[in-house]
Structure 1
Amino acid sequence: MNCIQEGLILTKFFEKTKQRLSTANGENLSVKFKIPDVHICKDDIYIKQTFILVKYLDIGIILGQPFLEVIKPFKVKTEGITTKIFKRKILFAFNEKPITKEINLLKALSMFKEHSINLL
């Protein structure tokens, strides 16, 4: 899922949700709210997404599977994820330098046409 750390966004944009979310190791995350109309803007292109607000998220924002589904096909490079939207090449730079293992996994998944994003 797309996630935002609770406390970064004003409460007037929240909606209550019953959605549940857990970490990769199965630990439940504290989720009570979502923001349904977030527009991710890059080079004058807007991508509408929904975000879940998560308490105690170690990183401020995570762009997850729903975002990757919208921008596929994409390529993964050391500096970030590239894609073409409306015939324009767009780079979504990594906030921090990811480790080689994470980049290699994204590169491998980006080569598959079907169902690969679900593996993330």
Structure 2
Amino acid sequence: MNCIQEGLVPTKYFKKTKQKLSTANGENLSVKFKISDVHICNDGICIKQTFILVKDLDIGIILGQPFLEVIKPFKVKNEGITIKIFQRKSLFAFNEKPITKEINLLKILSIFK
């Protein structure tokens, strides 16, 4: 899922949700709200997504599988994810130096268009 840490977005944009979310190791995350109609914009390209608000998220924002489904096909490089939409290339750069294992997983996923 696309996730945003609770506290980063004003409460007037929240909607209640009954959606459940857990970590990869099965721990339940505290989820009460979602935000619909979020626009992720980069180089003049905007992509509309929904985000789940998560308490105690270690990272501010996670772009998950729903985002990746919209931008495919994509290519993953050490700098970030490259897409081509409407004959325009755009790079969604990684904020921090990513872990090599995660980059390799994204590269594998980008092969399966």
TM-score bin, normalised by smaller chain: over 0.9
Q: Which secondary structure does the structure 2 equivalent of 1:9 belong to?
A: coil
How far, CA to CA, are the matches of 2:49 and 2:112 in structure 1? 23
* Residue of structure 2 in register with 1:15 after alignment: 15
Structure 2 unaligned regions, length at least 5: none
Per-residue CA shift, 1:30-79, capped at 9, x if unaligned?
00000011001111111000000000000000000000001000000000
User: Partner letter of residue 13 of structure 2?
Assistant: F
Matched, 1:81 2:81: yes
Displacement of 1:9 in angstroms is 0.2
Over aligned residues, Cα RMSD in angstroms?
Answer: 0.6
**Counterpart mapping for 1:45-56 below 5 A:** 45-56=45-56
Q: Which runs of 4+ in 1 moved over 6 A?
A: none
How far, CA to CA, are the matches of 1:109 and 1:68 in structure 2? 9
How far, CA to CA, are the matches of 1:73 and 1:48 in structure 2? 17
Q: Which secondary structure does the structure 2 equivalent of 1:84 belong to?
A: strand
* Residue of structure 2 in register with 1:116 after alignment: none
Q: Which secondary structure does the structure 2 equivalent of 1:52 belong to?
A: strand
**Counterpart mapping for 1:86-97 below 5 A:** 86-97=86-97
Q: Which secondary structure does the structure 2 equivalent of 1:97 belong to?
A: coil
Q: TM-score, normalised by structure 1?
A: 0.93
Q: Which secondary structure does the structure 2 equivalent of 1:29 belong to?
A: coil
